[in-house]
């Protein structure tokens, strides 16, 4: 059985700076996997390589067993890989429902159509609205994204990725910058995601990580420090020193 996503010896340098060093990583099908590590460890860079935004300096990326290292973002999205961004990357002046519909239309293959009005593509509109409903955003569908609270914007960020019906979903700090009053909603949404989606989540909030993940990989200075179950990670002394200790001190 192939892993949903796998890397072999993945490296990335920005000039003299090494941000990823020989990362061997497996995301199993249907996994709930967290990637943690201190600021600047290279977590976002890792996701950028997985999603095809950055080319790795060396190494391989396999999606469901297929080598996708040379493929661009578009081709990887077609193969079921979707991601969200640490800093919201939304279509700010578009409506909330359009934000999702842009993604749904690309996946459904109708985004090139020129002659019928977009509104006539009921399946795109309905699917986008249904997604918004599961995220509790029905009321906000017609607002411009810029008018939403930051917490709701983070939900739209997730909704766009879900509009691609991914098999592998990469979440880069979905609750970052959200006040606790609103982050609860994001947690509920994460818990309710379909089981068959393999999820890799980057998160600094340890409560969230230990509640959500069944497997954790710790990254420090571009290297995998340790990977294991939450219990193993919680018991590891080195992790405490360089990461957990520093945070909880």
Partner 1 sequence: MKHAGGYIADSRIRAIEWLPWAFALLCYYAAPSYLSLGSYILTMILFALSLDLILGYGGIITLGHSAYFGTGAYVAGIVAVRLTGEPLVGLLAGALAAGVLGLVTGMIILRTRGLALLMLTLAITSVCFEVANKATSLTGGADGLGGFSLLPILGLFRFDMFGKTAYLYCLAILFASWWLVRKLVYSPFGASLTGVRENNLRMHAVGAPVYQRLVASYTISATLAGLAGALLTQTTQFVGLNALGFQLSGELIVMLVLGGVGRIYGAFVGPLVYLVLQDYLAKRFPEYWYFGIGAMLVLVVLFARGGILGIIDAGILRLRRKS
Ligand X SMILES: Nc1ncnc2c1ncn2[C@@H]1O[C@H](COP(=O)(O)OP(=O)(O)OP(=O)(O)O)[C@@H](O)[C@H]1O
Which residues of the chain form contacts with Mg ion (CB under 5 A)? Answer: 43-44, 86
Nearer to ligand X, 42 or 151 (CB): 42
Q: Is 2 in the site for partner 1 (CB under 8 A)?
A: no
By three-state DSSP, how is residue 211 classified? helix
Nearer to Mg ion, 44 or 183 (CB): 44
Half-sphere exposure of 193 (CA within 13 A, CB side): 30
Q: Is 89 in the site for partner 1 (CB under 8 A)?
A: yes
Segment near ligand X (CB under 6 A); pick from 40-48, 74-82, 143-151, 191-199: 40-48
5, 10, 61, 101: which one binds partner 1 (CB under 8 A): 101
Q: Per-residue x/- mask for partner 1, residues 132 to 161, rule CB under 8 A?
A: ---------xx-----------------x-
Tell me the CA distances in angstroms from 51 to 48, 55, 200, one per residue in order: 5, 9, 12
d(CA 180, CA 137): 18
Nearer to ligand X, 82 or 202 (CB): 202
Q: Is 14 in the site for ligand X (CB under 6 A)?
A: yes
d(CA 197, CA 181): 27
How far does Cα 25 stand from its chain's mean position? 16
d(CA 134, CA 194): 12
Nearer to ligand X, 13 or 60 (CB): 13
Q: Is 125 in the site for partner 1 (CB under 8 A)?
A: yes
Q: Is 82 in the site for ligand X (CB under 6 A)?
A: no
First-to-final CA distance of the chain: 42
Helices (H), the chain: 43-51, 73-78, 96-108, 122-134, 150-162, 180-191, 206-212, 230-235, 237-239, 245-248
Q: Is 208 in the site for ligand X (CB under 6 A)?
A: no
Q: Is 47 in the site for partner 1 (CB under 8 A)?
A: no
Residue found by looking up tokens 């700076």 in the block? 17
Residue found by looking up tokens 């996701």 in the block? 47
Q: Is 161 in the site for ligand X (CB under 6 A)?
A: no
Radius of gyration of the chain, Cα coordinates, nearest whole angstrom: 18
Residues found near partner 1 in the complex (CB under 8 A): 51, 53, 73-74, 77-78, 82-83, 85, 89-95, 97-98, 101-103, 105-107, 110-119, 121, 124-125, 128, 141-142, 160, 163-164
């Amino acid at each position: 059985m192939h892993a949903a996503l796998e890397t072999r010896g993945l490296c990335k340098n920005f000039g003299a700076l090494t941000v990823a060093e020989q990362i061997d990583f497996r995301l199993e099908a249907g996994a709930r996997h967290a990637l943690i590590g201190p600021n600047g460890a290279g977590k976002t860079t890792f996701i950028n390589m997985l999603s095809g935004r950055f080319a790795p300096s060396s190494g391989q990326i396999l999606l469901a067993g297929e080598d996708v290292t040379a493929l661009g973002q578009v081709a990887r999205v077609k193969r079921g890989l979707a991601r969200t961004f640490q800093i919201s990357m939304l279509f700010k002046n578009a409506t909330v429902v359009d934000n999702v519909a842009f993604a749904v239309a690309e996946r459904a293959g109708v985004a090139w159509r020129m002659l019928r009005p977009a509104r006539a593509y009921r399946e795109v509109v309905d699917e986008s609205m249904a997604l918004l409903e599961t995220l509790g955003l029905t009321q906000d569908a017609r607002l411009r994204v810029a008018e939403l609270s930051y917490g709701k914007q983070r939900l739209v960020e997730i909704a766009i990725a879900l509009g691609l019906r991914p098999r592998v979903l990469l979440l880069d700090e979905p609750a970052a910058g959200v006040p606790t009053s609103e982050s609860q909603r994001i947690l509920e949404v994460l818990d309710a995601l379909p089981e068959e989606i393999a999820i890799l989540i980057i998160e600094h909030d340890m409560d969230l990580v230990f509640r959500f993940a069944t497997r954790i990989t710790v990254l420090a200075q571009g290297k995998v420090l340790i990977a294991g179950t939450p219990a193993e990670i919680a018991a590891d002394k080195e992790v405490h020193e360089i990461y957990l200790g520093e945070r909880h001190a």
